[in-house]
Amino acid sequence: MSDNTTATLIHNGRVITATDDYVADVLLKDGIVHTIGQHLEVGEDVQVVDATGLYVLPGGVDTHVHMENVVGPTMTCDTFASGTKAAAFGGTTTVVDFALQTAEDSPLGAIARAQRSAESQVNIDYGLHVIVTRVDEQVLKDVRYAMHHEGVSSFKMFMAYPGVMMADDAAIFRMLRQVGADGGMLALHAENGTVIDLLIKEALAAGHTSPRYHEMTRPSIMEGEATHRGIRLAELAEAPIYFVHVSSNNALKHIVQARAEGIPVFAETCPHYLLFDKSVYSSDDFEVAKYVMTPPLRTKDDQKHLWRALRYDDLQVIATDHCPFCMKEGHLGYQKQKQMGKDDFSMIPNGAPGIETRLVSLFDIGVMKGKFSLNRFVELTATSPAKLFGLFPKKGTIAVGSDADVVLFNPAVTQTIRAQSLHSNVDYTLLEGRTMQGRVEKVFLRGHLIVDGQAWKGREGLGRFVPRGQVQAF
Ligand code: URP
Ligand code: ZN
Ligand code: ZN
C-alpha cells in the first residue's frame, strides 16, 4: 500500500545512520525515502523543510514496550493510542508490543486480540511479540504458523513470575528449537523465579513490606544464573536467543563469554539501568515504588559494565521496557496502581515509563558524555533492533527505498523533562526536572509529518501492523 502524502524535501540536514554521517537532501515521497543527494531540485508541489543544523535520523525502533498489557491484577495505563503518541513525540516510529497467550487460547488468538485493539488506535507502526506461557504440540504448530503467515517472528518467555507467566526449562527449550529452526527469535526474561519467590516470602514474613525490598529480593546473582541457563538451553537447541532488560554484570558476563564462544546470544539494556542505580532504594518512602521495575536498578559498577558492553557490541539494543503504572492519577479506570503494594511490596505492579525520553536521554548521557558515537546511538536505538527483529531495511535506517520514517533532531538545545509535558497516560517520569541536551523537532512516519515541535499532526489509526521477517543477525 502506498502512502499518499505530500512529498517532502528535507534540505541540508546531517544524515546519520549506523554507518554514515553526511550532509544531504532527502526526498520523502510515496511513503519511502525516494532520493538522497546534494542540492536536489524539486517542483512546487514538494514541501521543503530546512534541516540546517539538525540531525536527520531514522525513526527510532523500540522493541520492548508494554501497552494495554495485563500485568498481574492490573493493566499498563497506556493504550495503544497514548503509548504510540508518546513514542512519536520521543522520536520512535516503530514499536514491538506484546500479545499475551492466556491459559485458554493459542498464540494466534493472542495476536488477533492485540491487533483488534491496536488497529484503530496506533499512531505509529507496530509489530507484536507473543508471550508464550504454555507449550504443547498445537502451540508449537501455531508458533510456526505465526512466523510464516502472520508476520510475528519473535516470542517471549519468562523464567520469573511463577504461577503467572513462568515457563519451565523444557518449555523454553522446545520453543527455542522451534523458533530457531524457522529463523525467528526467542526473547527471554532471565531471573530465577522460584528462588526470588522464596526470598520475597521470607522478606514479607520478617515484616519487610516497603518498596525498597523489591530490590533486595531480586539479587543479580539470580539474573546471572537464569541467563547462564538460558544460554545453555539455546546452545543445545542451536538457536539464537535474546535477553531482555539486562541490568547487571552477573548476567552480562555470561553473555560476553557465550558470544566469545560463537554462540548467537543477543541482548538489550534499558535507559533506566544507565540513568539510575540502586541508591534510590535507600529509603522506606513509598515514592520508591516509582523505581519498582524488574530487574531492579543495580550498582554503579554494573553500570560501568553495561556501558562497556554497549560500546563493544555485547549489548546490541537499548529498548525502554516502557511499562507504565500510575502512582496517583488513574486512567482506564485503574486508580493509584502502584498503591496496590502499599502494605506489601510484592503487590506493586512492576514497571516504569520511558518511551518518550529514550532518544533524548541516550543522546544526553551517551553521545554528549562521550560514551558512544552518534552512529552507535542510531545503531542501538533503531538499526540493530530492526535487524534482530526482522524489520530491516524497511525500518531502522535512512536509505533509498526504506520507509520514510525520519526524525529531525536538534543537538544544540536543552530541555527540562516534566511528566506534565509528556504524552503517556502515566503521571510521573523518572527524569522529572532533569535538563538534557537535544530535542526531537519533527517526526515523519512513512512521509506523514506527525510531530512538529510541540504540535501533534498525527492521527490514531495512521500506524500499521508491520509483518516481520527472519532475524538478521549474522
Ligand atoms: O518491570 C517490568 N519489566 N515489567 C514488565 C514485565 C517484565 O518483567 O518484563
Ligand atoms: Zn521482563
Ligand atoms: Zn518488559
Q: Which atom of ligand 1 is nearest to the CA of 292?
A: 1
Q: Which atom of ligand 1 is nearest to the CA of 293?
A: 1
Q: Which cell numbers in the block locate residue 396?
A: 531502522
Q: What is the DSSP letter of 383?
A: I
Q: Which cell numbers in the block locate residue 168?
A: 519451565
- CA of 388 from ligand 1 middle (Å) equals 20
The 10s digit of each residue's pLDDT in 418-462 is 999 999 999 999 999 999 999 999 999 999 999 999 999 999 999
- CA of 266 from ligand 2 middle (Å) equals 15
For the chain, give the percent of residues with pLDDT over 90: 94
Tell me how far apart the alpha carbons of residues 107 and 100 are, in angstroms, rounded to a whole number.
Answer: 8
pLDDT over threshold 80, residue 142: yes
**Atom 8 of ligand 1: nearest residue by CA position:** 294
Contact between 90 and 421 under an 8 Å Cβ cutoff? The reply is no
Pocket test for ligand 1, best of 191, 222, 293 (most atoms within 8 A of CB): 293
Determine if ligand 1 sits within 6 Å of the CB of residue 349. Answer: no
The 10s digit of each residue's pLDDT in 53-104 is 999 999 999 999 999 999 878 999 999 999 999 999 999 999 999 999 988 8
The H or E element that residue 438 is part of is strand 435-445
pTM exceeding the 0.95 threshold for the entire prediction: yes
Determine if ligand 1 sits within 6 Å of the CB of residue 51. Answer: no
Q: What per-residue confidence (pLDDT) applies to 103?
A: 82
Instruction: Measure the CA dihedral 444/449/453/455, to 10°.
Output: -140
Q: Which atom of ligand 1 is nearest to the CA of 321?
A: 3
Q: Which of these ranges, 210-224, 299-313, 330-344, 345-359, has the smallest mean pLDDT? A: 330-344
The 10s digit of each residue's pLDDT in 200-247 is 999 999 999 999 999 999 999 999 999 999 999 999 999 999 999 999
Q: What per-residue confidence (pLDDT) applies to 73?
A: 82
Residue type, 158: F
For residue 274, count other CB atoms closer than 10 A to its CB.
Answer: 18
Q: What is the DSSP letter of 413?
A: E
Determine if ligand 1 sits within 6 Å of the CB of residue 189. Answer: yes
pLDDT over threshold 70, residue 277: yes
Instruction: Measure the CA dihedral 423/427/429/432, to 10°.
Output: 100
User: Residue 154: what are its φ and ψ, rounded to 5°?
Assistant: -140, 150
Q: What per-residue confidence (pLDDT) applies to 333?
A: 62
Determine if ligand 1 sits within 6 Å of the CB of residue 320. Answer: no
Contact between 468 and 390 under an 8 Å Cβ cutoff? The reply is yes
Tell me how far apart the alpha carbons of residues 48 and 30 are, in angstroms, rounded to a whole number.
Answer: 15
Q: How far is CA 100 from the centre of its chain?
A: 16
Determine if ligand 1 sits within 6 Å of the CB of residue 223. Answer: no
Determine if ligand 1 sits within 6 Å of the CB of residue 446. Answer: no
